[in-house]
Structure 1
Amino acid sequence: MRSIGWASLAAIVLALTLTPPAHASPATDLPTRNTRYVTRDGSRLTLDGEPFRFAGTNIYWLGLDENVGGVAYPTFFRIRDALDTAKAMGMTVVRSHMLTSTGNPLSILPAKDKGFNEAAFATVDYAIAYAGSIGLRLVLPLTDEWSYYHGGHHDFTDPYGLPPEAFYTDQRVIADYQAYAGHLMRRVNPLTGRAYNADPTIMAWELGNELEGMTPGWINANAAVFRQWAPRQLIAAGRRFDIDPDTLAAPGVDIVDVHYYPPTAARVAADAATVTGAGKVYLAGEYASTAAGAELLTPLAADPAVTGMMSWSLFGHHDRGGFVQHDDGFTLHYPGDDERMRASVEAQIAFAGQVSPASARPTRVGPPLITQVDKRGGLNELRWRGAAGADGYVVERAAHGGWTPAHQGTLGDGSTPWLDTEARGDVTYRVVPIGRDGRRGTPSEPVRAGRTQIVLADPLQTTDLADGHAGITLTPAGATAQGAGRVSWSRPGLRRVRFDLTGRPRVRVQVSQDGAGWRTVRHDGGDGQVSADAGGAGHVRVLWSGGTLTRATLWAADPAPVTAPPAAPAPLTPAPGSRDVLGAPAFTWSPAAGAGCYTLTVSRNADLSDPVLTVTAITGTAITGTSHTPSAALDPGATYHWRVTAVNAAGSTAGPVASFTTRPLPTRPAVVDDFTGYADTGGLASAYVRNPNGDPITPVLDAGPAMRLDYTLGAAGYAGVTRAFAPSLDLWGLKGLELRLTGTGRPVKVTVQFVTGGVYFEHTLDAVPGGAARIPFAGFDHPSWAGAGPLDLTRFDQLSIYVGGGPGAGTLTVGQVTAYPGP
Structure 2
Amino acid sequence: MKSPILTWTVLDLPVVRNGSTVLLDNKPWKAVGANVYWLGLDENVTPPAGEPYYAPLHASYPTPGRITQIMSIITALGGTMIRSHTLGVSVGNPLSLWPSPDKANPAAFEPIDWAVYQARVYGLRLMVPLVDNFDYYHGGKYTFLRWAGFNLSRTVDERNPLVQEFYNDPKVVNLFKRYIETLLSHMNPYTNLTYAEDPTIFAIETGNELCGPVWGDMDVPREWVRDIGRFVKGLAPKKLFVDGTYGVNRTHLEAEEVDIFSNHYYPVSTAKLRRDLETLASVDKPYFIGEYGWLGNAASADASLPAWYREIERSSKVMGDTLWSLFGHNVPNCNTFVEHNDGFTMQYGNPAHAAQIKIVRQHLIKMSQDLSISADADLPPVSCPPPTSLGVQPSGQQGSRLF
Q: Same fold (TM over 0.5)?
A: yes
* Partner of residue 195, structure 1: 194
Mark the CA change 1:223 to 1:88 in structure 2 (over 3 Å): closer, same or farther.
Answer: same
- Measured after TM superposition, the shift of residue 149 of structure 1 is 0.3
List alignment gaps of at least 5 residues for structure 2.
Answer: 1-5, 47-57, 151-161, 213-219, 297-303
* Runs ≥4 residues deviating over 4 A: 30-33, 436-445, 547-552
Aligned counterpart in structure 2 of residue 111 of structure 1, from 93, 100, 108:
100
2:312 maps to 1:323: no
Which one-letter code corresponds to 1:92 in the other structure?
A: T
Q: How do 1:387-402 and structure 2 match up within 5 A?
A: none
Contact 1:43-1:276 within 8 A present in 2 as well: no
User: What code does the residue aligned with 1:322 have?
Assistant: T
| In the alignment, structure 1 residue 141 sits paired with structure 2 residue 129 | yes
Q: State the alpha-carbon separation in 1 of the partners of residues 202 and 88 from structure 2.
A: 14
The correspondence for 1:350, drawn from 357, 362, 374, is 362
Instruction: Give the unaligned 5+ runs of structure 1.
Output: 1-29, 364-435, 446-458, 462-475, 483-546, 553-823
Whole-angstrom CA distance in 2 between matches of 1:138 and 1:334:
20
**Contact (CA 8 Å) 2:22, 2:29: kept in 1 or not?**
yes
Compared with structure 1, are the counterparts of its residues 444 and 125 closer, same or farther at alpha carbon in structure 2 (3 Å cutoff)?
closer
Change in Cα spacing, 1:438 to 1:126, as seen in structure 2 (3 Å) is closer
TM-score normalised to the size of structure 1? 0.41
Letter in 2 for 1:223: G
1:722-801 alignment runs, 5 A limit: none
User: By percentage of residues, which structure has more helix?
Assistant: 2
Alpha-carbon distance, 1:164 to partner: 2.6
SS in 2 for 1:110: coil
Aligned to 1:526: none
- 2:284 corresponds to which of 260, 276, 279: 279
Aligned ranges for residues 629-644 of structure 1 at < 5 Å? none
Find the aligned partners of 2:284 and 2:343 in 1 and give their Cα distance: 35
Partner residue in 1 for 2:215 = none
Aligned residues of 2:125 and 2:202 also touching (Cα < 8 A):
yes
Sort the Cα spacing of 1:550 and 1:309 in 2 relative to 1 into closer, same or farther, 3 A. Answer: closer
Describe the superposition over 1:694-722 as per-residue Cα deviations: whole angstroms up to 9, x where unpaired. xxxxxxxxxxxxxxxxxxxxxxxxxxxxx
Alignment-derived partner of residue 69 in structure 2: 81
Residue 44 of structure 1 contacts residue 51 of structure 1 at CA under 8 Å; is this kept in 2?
A: yes
Change (3 A) 1:444 1:362: farther
In structure 2, relative to structure 1, the CA distance for the partners of 1:550 and 1:477 (3 Å cut) is: farther
Q: Say whether the 8 Å CA contact 1:100–1:143 is kept in structure 2.
A: yes
Q: 1:192 to 1:269 in 2, by over 3 A?
A: same
In structure 1, the residue matched to 2:313 is 301
Contact 1:55–1:348 at 8 Å: present in 2 too? no
Q: Aligned partners of 1:159 and 1:139: how far apart in 2?
A: 26
| Residue 290 (structure 2) pairs with residue 255 (structure 1) | no
The match for 2:41 is: 64
2:111 corresponding residue in structure 1: 123
Deviations 1:614-658 (A, max 9, x none): xxxxxxxxxxxxxxxxxxxxxxxxxxxxxxxxxxxxxxxxxxxxx
Deviation at 1:31, TM superposition (A): 7.1
Kept after mapping to 1: 8 A contact 2:250/2:279: no
**Conservation of the 8 A alpha-carbon contact between 1:353 and 1:360:** no
Alignment-derived partner of residue 332 in structure 1:
346
8 Å CA contact 1:235–1:254 kept in 2: the answer is yes
8 Å Cα contact 2:69-2:385 kept in structure 1: no
Deviations 1:258-304 (A, max 9, x none): 01101122322331343253222100100111127212102321221
Match of 2:361, SS state, is: helix
1:164-183 to 2 correspondences below 5 Å? 164-183=163-182
Shift of 1:219: 0.9
Q: In the alignment, is the contact (CA less than 8 A) between 2:35 and 2:82 conserved in 1? A: yes
Partner residue, 1:186: 185
Deviations 1:444-488 (A, max 9, x none): 99xxxxxxxxxxxxx9x9xxxxxxxxxxxxxx658x999xxxxxx
In 2 relative to 1, CA 180–264 (structure 1 residues): closer, same or farther, beyond 3 Å?
same
Of the two structures, which has the highest relative contact order with CA contacts closer than 8 Å and spacing of 6 or more?
A: 2
In the aligned structure 2, how far is the partner of 1:550 from the partner of 1:177?
31
Does the CA contact (< 8 Å) of 1:31 and 1:192 recur in 2?
Answer: no
Q: C-alpha separation between the residues in 1 aligned to 2:22 and 2:165? A: 34
The residue that corresponds to 2:3 in the other structure is none
C-alpha spacing 1:300/1:77, structure 2 compared with 1 (3 Å): same
1:297 and 1:119 mapped to 2: Cα distance? 40
Equivalence for 2:21: 44
> How many residues align structurally?
357
State the structure with more CA Rg: 1
CA contact (8 A) 1:108 1:118 kept: yes
1:609 match:
none
Matching of residue 267 in structure 1 with residue 272 in structure 2:
yes
Distance 2:45 2:198 in 1: 30
Give the residue type in structure 2 aligned to 1:57. A
Task: Tell me how far apart the structure 2 counterparts of residues 79 and 439 of structure 1 sit (CA, whole Å).
Answer: 18
Gap change, CA 1:49 and 1:322, over 3 Å in 2: same
Q: Distance in 1 between matches of 2:401 and 2:91?
A: 32
Supply the distance in 2 between the matched residues of 1:51 and 1:481 (Cα, whole angstroms): 40
Higher strand share: 1
Inter-CA distance 116–31: structure 2 relative to 1 (3 Å threshold)? farther
Q: Displacement of 1:550 after TM fit?
A: 9.2
Q: Which letter does structure 1 place at the counterpart of 2:361?
A: I
Give me the whole-angstrom Cα distance separating, in 1, the residues matched to 2:233 and 2:189: 24
Q: Which letter maps to 2:14?
A: Y
For the residue of structure 2 that corresponds to 1:84, the secondary structure is: helix
Aligned residue type for 2:336: G
Letter in 1 for 2:358: E
How does 1:351-750 map onto structure 2 within 5 Å? Answer: 351-358=363-370, 361=373, 437=378
Q: Is the 8 A contact 1:477 1:550 kept in 2?
A: no
Pick closer, same or farther for the CA change 1:335–1:274 going to 2, 3 Å: farther
- Distance in 2 separating the partners of 1:111 and 1:444: 35
Higher mean C-alpha displacement, 260-269 vs 82-91: 260-269
TM-score (norm 2): 0.81
Q: CA RMSD in A?
A: 3.1
Q: Distance in 2 between matches of 1:549 and 1:155?
A: 32
CA–CA separation in structure 2 for the residues paired with 1:359 and 1:306:
21
Alpha-carbon distance in structure 1 between the residues aligned to 2:371 and 2:241 = 24
Aligned-pair CA distance for 1:438:
8.0
Q: Contact between 1:481 and 1:548, CA under 8 Å: does it hold in 2?
A: no
Letter of the 1:99 partner, please give it.
Answer: G
- 2:277 maps to amino acid: A
Matched AA of 1:305: K
* Structure 2 residue 67 is matched with structure 1 residue 53: no
CA distance in 1, matches of 2:384, 2:92: 43
Q: Partner of 1:94 in structure 2? A: 82
Is residue 293–residue 343 contact of structure 1 (8 Å, CA) maintained in 2? no
Partner of 2:55: none
Change in 2 beyond 3 A, CA 1:314/1:438: closer
Work out the CA distance in 2 between the residues paired with 1:57 and 1:296: 16
Pair 1:187–1:356, CA change in 2 (3 A): same
Q: 1:229 aligns with which of 221, 227, 235?
A: 235
Aligned mates of 1:324, 1:354 — CA distance in 2: 28
Preserved contact between residue 89 and residue 360 of structure 1 (Cα < 8 Å): no
Aligned to 1:152: 140
C-alpha spacing 1:551/1:229, structure 2 compared with 1 (3 Å): closer
Identity %: 35
